[in-house]
Amino acid sequence: MFYVADRTEMQEIDRLTIEEKGVPGILLMERAAITVLEEINSRLKSINADRKLKCLVVVEGGNNGGDGLALARLLYQQGDIVHVCYINGISRVSDSFSYQLEIAKKIGIQVTDHIIDSDYDVVVDGIFGVGLKRDVAGIWRETIETMNGLGGFKVAIDTPSGVDASTGQIMGCAFKAGMTVTFGLNKRGLIFYPGCEISGEVVVRDIGFAQAEVDRVHPVAYSYNRDDLCMLPGRSDSSNKGTYGKLAVIAGSRDMSGAMTFAAEAAYRMGTGLVKIYTHIDNKEIAGVRIPEAVLMCYSNKDEAEQCARDAMEWSDAILIGPGIGKGDAARSMVEYIMCEAVQTVIADADALNIISEKPDILGRHRGPVIVTPHIGEMSRLTGVAIPDIKKNILEVCKDFSMEYNVVSALKDARTCVSDGRDVYINTSGNNGMSTAGAGDVLAGIIAGLVCTGLGAYEAAKLGVYIHGLAGDMAAEHRGRNAMIARDIVSAISEVIKGAEHDGQQ
C-alpha cells in the first residue's frame, strides 16, 4: 500500500518536517535536487559517464524553482553545460530560492530571463510544483509552450508545471514531461488523467520527510501494489465448498445472457464455493453450456422473479444483483426487495443501479453491507451530477456518495476510486483494452467472489478492483489491447492470483 497525497497534505508534511522537526527546507531542497540528478544520470549517462549534457533548467521564484537551481548547480559541478531561465514573474520569492540563486550566479551559471534556443539534451521544469494555484497564463504559458517545443529529455521536478497536484486537471497549459521525479509521496495529480499522461514516467523519491509526519497527516488516498495481493483470503486443507461461500448472482434478462456468465465465472475463478444464477428462463440453455458449474433458478414473470429474490436471500451468503437484468417490472421488484431486505452483503451493479437511481431512497434502507459499482454514467444518474463534473472530481464524488448512503462505492473509470466514505483507494492497475463490453460484469463477479471467500465489503471492493486491473493487464499481454474481450479478463484471473495463494484459516 502506498499513500497518494494531494496539494494540502503534501504542503502540511513539508511544514511539519521543517517547522516542527527542525529540518531546514534548504536541506530537503538539496536532497530533492540530488535525487533528480541521479535519475537523469542513470538514464543519460549509464553508458558513457563522461557524456557532457547540454541542459536547460527553467525556474520561477518558489521552492520548486529552488529545487531547479540546486539541480542546475549539481549538473554544472559535474561538468555539464547548464543554462538557467528564471522567469521572474511572481512577486513573492521564497528565501530558499533567493539563496540558491545567489550561489548559482556566484559559481558562474548563466541565468537569463528568457529561453535561449538550442539543442538541449535535457530540459528541466522547475517552474511550479505543488504551489500551483490557478490557471497558467501570460509569460508562464508562453514559456511552457516554448519548452514543449524543444527536443531533449524532458524532466519535471515534483509535478509538471500546469498539472493540478490534487486532481490531475490541466490548469490552462502544462509541461509535457518524459519523467517526473516527485518527492516523498506520489501525488493524486500524477495518477489521475489527464495529469498522468503528461507526467511521463513517475519516480517517487524519498528526500527526508519523516514517516511520523506522513502518519500525522494521514493522507486520505492510497493505492495498492503487488505486495497487497497477500490480502487474498487463504484456503484451509480441511475445507469443503461451503467454506468458501454461496453466491447468488441475479443477472441476465431476455436479451442479455453474457453478463451473468462473466460475473458467475469470475466469482468462481476467485475461489467461491458455490454460485447460483437467478435469471430469465430464456437464458437457461446458454447458462448450462457456458457455466455448467453454476446452479440455476429461472423466472418467466414478475411473480417468479420475486420467488427468485426470496430464494436468493434465504440461500446465499452474498448477493450480486444487476448485470444485464434490464429495467422491466421483474427486475425492479427484485432490486427493491434485495436492497431493502437482504442482511448479507449485496453487490449492486449495472441495471440495479439504474433502477435505484429512479428511487434513490432504496439505497438508504439497506440492512446489511452494500457495495455499489457504478461507472461514471451510472454515478451521474445516481447523483444528478453531470459526467464532466464527476470526471474532474471522481475521488470526492466517490467518497461523498459512500458517506451519504453508508455504502462502499467503486466508481469505475480509467482510474477507479473505491471509498467507504472515510478514505479512498485509487486504482492504478488496468489498461484501455478494458474499455470493452462485459468488463464491468467481470469486476462485479471478482468483488463478489472476494466477499464469499472471506473479505469484508470494503477490502473486497478495493482488492477486487486491483485484481481486475491486473487481470486486464495480463489479458492485454496475451491478446493485445485491441483484441482482448471480457472473457480474456476472466481467463487471466487465475494467472494473477495463483502466485499469491496461501494456506490459511477460514
Ligand X SMILES: Nc1ncnc2c1ncn2[C@@H]1O[C@H](COP(=O)(O)OP(=O)(O)O)[C@@H](O)[C@H]1O
Task: Pick between residue 172 and residue 234 the one whose CB is nearest to ligand NPW.
Answer: 172
**Per CB under 6 A, does 136 bind ligand NPW?**
yes
- Of 437, 478, 494, 505, the residue at the interface with ligand X (CB under 6 A) is 437
Contact 14, 210 (CB under 8 A): no
Separation CA 229–CA 463 (nearest Å): 8
**Per CB under 6 A, does 239 bind ligand X?**
no
Site string for ligand X, 163-202 (x = CB under 6 A): ----------------------------------------
**Per CB under 6 A, does 447 bind ligand NPW?**
no
Dihedral (CA of 316, 320, 323, 326) sign: positive
Could you tell me where the DSSP H helices lie in 417-456? 439-452
Contact 379, 397 (CB under 8 A): yes
Using CB under 6 A, which residues numbered 62 to 91 contact ligand NPW? 62-65, 67, 90
The residues, any chain, with a CB within 8 Å of residue 459's CB and separated by 6 or more, are: 231, 450
**Joined grid coordinates for residue 380:** 451521474
- Of 125, 164, 213, 351, the residue at the interface with K ion (CB under 5 A) is 125
64 annotated among ligand-binding-site residues: yes
Task: Pick between residue 65 and residue 464 the one whose CB is nearest to ligand NPW.
Answer: 65
Dihedral (CA of 257, 263, 269, 274) sign: negative
Separation CA 444–CA 377 (nearest Å): 17
Separation CA 382–CA 306 (nearest Å): 24
Separation CA 229–CA 500 (nearest Å): 6
Which of 235, 169, 224, 233 lies closest to 197, judged by CA? 169
CB of 28 to ligand NPW, least distance (A): 4
**Per CB under 6 A, does 416 bind ligand X?**
yes
The entry of ligand NPW, ligand X, K ion, none near residue 92 (CB within 5 to 8 angstroms by kind) is ligand NPW
Stretch that binds ligand NPW, among 132-140, 222-230, 233-241, 243-251 (CB under 6 A): 132-140
CB of 11 to ligand NPW, least distance (A): 6
CB of 249 to ligand X, least distance (A): 14
Distances, alpha carbon 354 to alpha carbons 305, 358, 378, 427, 443, in Å = 18, 7, 7, 24, 17
The entry of ligand X, ligand NPW, K ion, none near residue 140 (CB within 5 to 8 angstroms by kind) is ligand NPW
Could you tell me where the DSSP H helices lie in 150-249? 195-199, 211-217
CB of 353 to ligand NPW, least distance (A): 38
Stretch that binds ligand NPW, among 25-33, 211-219, 244-252, 409-417 (CB under 6 A): 25-33
Using CB under 6 A, which residues numbered 335 to 394 contact ligand X? 375
SS3 32: helix
Contact 135, 172 (CB under 8 A): yes
Separation CA 387–CA 389 (nearest Å): 5
The count of residues interacting with ligand X (CB under 6 A) is 17
389 annotated among ligand-binding-site residues: no
SS3 372: strand
438 annotated among ligand-binding-site residues: no
Which residues contact ligand NPW (rule: CB under 6 A)? 14, 18, 25, 28-29, 32, 60, 62-65, 67, 90, 92, 94, 96, 128-136, 140, 157-158, 183
Q: Could you tell me which residues are annotated as the binding site?
A: 63-67, 125, 129-135, 158, 161, 259, 324, 375, 412-416, 440-441
Contacts with ligand X, residue ranges (CB under 6 A): 375, 412-414, 416, 430-432, 434-435, 437-441, 443, 468
